[in-house]
């Protein structure tokens, strides 16, 4: 048998008061629920305006790019301080201006590994210079002053058709389209000088600091940019991109400094049919290249598109030999790289 609890008058009063408070609390929601739909306040999510469609990406002309590479080779080895170097530099300036660029020439003096003072000439083409947002494209335009990887004529300069000529040729073809690019960031094309004057292989003076003897033009530029406080959304370096059947692995230093840009470019290449050229595998095979000073000094996330040859675990067998001539260059390789870079540029808003 349970135990009953008697509730007196005061207890009933307390219960009645409690029910009144509960009723007052639940009454407003009940009344709101009974309102006609037309009287309820509705919140419509803010609709973001649709972005306008991007213009179609121009077609990269591999024949034009090949002709630009051939023209550089015709000048002869572009070794700093030589007449062929000066003549080619003048032609590069004229080509950029013809494409609609505002050209800045940066001159100075750098000291080589053997204490030789070398004239430097960095050439910058600026497209849409009034736009604050920038994208940086770069390639070196000088050539190796000796064929230190060759068994013959090792003290003579090389043609540098691929190592020097190919990256410049692709960028000159891209430049032909940039004046028509009315959307997205402006573009700067930087042709760096004295990149390939580094300490030769097997040199008796080879030491740990020999890596600093390379990329003297880009090292100079990052300390003296063509505009104060220069920055860019990202950068793409082209080096040795034109050899037959070239494959471009994800270079390890690029993955260290700018992995998001590497993925952007490689994904773009795959989307337009060049996934067989741009291999989504990281390889460490570049000790230093022009993208390193740009990353380290200016903090611009910059990648290197450069050939990787599995047979050498580095560059092609033509590298720093007299075999680096026009016979190495293949239009299909130029097209794969050039069309990919154009697509990346045209997809930037």
- Ranges of the chain whose pLDDT falls below 50: 1-35, 38-40
Say what the pLDDT of residue 1 is: 46
Cα 263 to chain centroid distance, Å, stands at 11
List of residues 6+ apart from 167 with CB closer than 8 A? 139, 140, 237, 238, 239, 240, 241
Q: In terms of Cα–Cα distance, which of 269, 215, 271 is closest to 247?
A: 269
How many Å apart are CA 139 and CA 190, to the nearest integer? 7
Q: What are phi and psi of 329, to 5 degrees?
A: -75, 135
Say what the pLDDT of residue 28 is: 47
The CA–CA distances, whole Å, from 123 to 83, 96, 107, 132, 215 equal 17, 9, 9, 20, 14
Say what the pLDDT of residue 209 is: 72
Domain boundaries, the chain: 62-199+209-346
Q: In terms of Cα–Cα distance, which of 237, 205, 217, 196 is closest to 319?
A: 196
Task: Retrieve residue 217's tokens.
Answer: 């033009």
Say what the pLDDT of residue 30 is: 44
* CATH number belonging to domain 62-199+209-346: 3.40.630.10
Say what the pLDDT of residue 8 is: 42
Residue range 6-55, pLDDT digits in tens = 334 444 444 344 444 444 444 444 444 444 554 445 566 676 678 889 99
List of residues 6+ apart from 306 with CB closer than 8 A? 237, 238, 239, 240, 241, 248, 251, 286, 289, 315
């Amino acid at each position: 048998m349970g135990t009953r609890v008697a509730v007196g008058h005061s207890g009933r009063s307390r219960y009645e008061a409690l029910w009144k408070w509960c009723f007052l609390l639940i009454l407003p929601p009940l009344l709101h629920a009974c309102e006609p739909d037309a009287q309820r306040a509705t919140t419509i999510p803010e609709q973001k305006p649709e972005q306008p469609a991007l213009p179609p990406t121009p077609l990269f002309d591999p024949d034009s790019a090949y002709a630009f590479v051939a023209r550089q080779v015709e000048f002869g080895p572009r070794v700093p301080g030589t007449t062929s170097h000066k003549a080619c530099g003048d032609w590069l300036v004229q080509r950029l201006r013809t494409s609609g660029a505002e050209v800045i020439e940066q001159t100075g003096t750098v000291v080589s590994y053997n204490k030789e003072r070398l004239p430097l000439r960095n050439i910058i083409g600026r497209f849409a210079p009034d736009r604050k947002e920038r994208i940086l494209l770069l390639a070196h335009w000088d050539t190796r002053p000796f064929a230190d990887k060759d068994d013959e004529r090792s003290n003579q300069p090389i043609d540098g058709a691929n190592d020097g000529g190919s990256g410049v040729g692709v960028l000159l073809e891209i430049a032909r389209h940039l004046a028509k690019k009315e959307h997205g960031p402006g573009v700067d094309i930087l042709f760096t000088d004295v990149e390939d004057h580094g300490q030769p292989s097997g040199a008796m003076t080879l030491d740990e600091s020999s890596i600093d003897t390379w990329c003297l033009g880009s090292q100079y530029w990052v300390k003296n940019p063509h505009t104060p406080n220069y920055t860019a959304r990202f950068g793409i370096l082209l080096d040795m991109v034109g050899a037959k059947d070239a494959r471009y692995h994800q270079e390890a230093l690029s993955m260290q400094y700018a992995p998001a840009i590497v993925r952007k470019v490689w994904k773009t290449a795959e989307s337009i049919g060049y996934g067989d050229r741009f291999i989504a595998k990281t390889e460490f095979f570049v000790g230093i290249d022009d993208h390193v000073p740009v990353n380290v000094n200016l903090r611009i996330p910059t990648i290197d598109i450069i050939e990787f040859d599995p047979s050498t675990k580095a560059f092609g067998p033509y590298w720093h030999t007299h075999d680096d001539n026009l016979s190495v260059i293949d239009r299909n390789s130029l097209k794969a790289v050039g069309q990919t870079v154009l697509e990346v540029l045209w997809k930037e808003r």
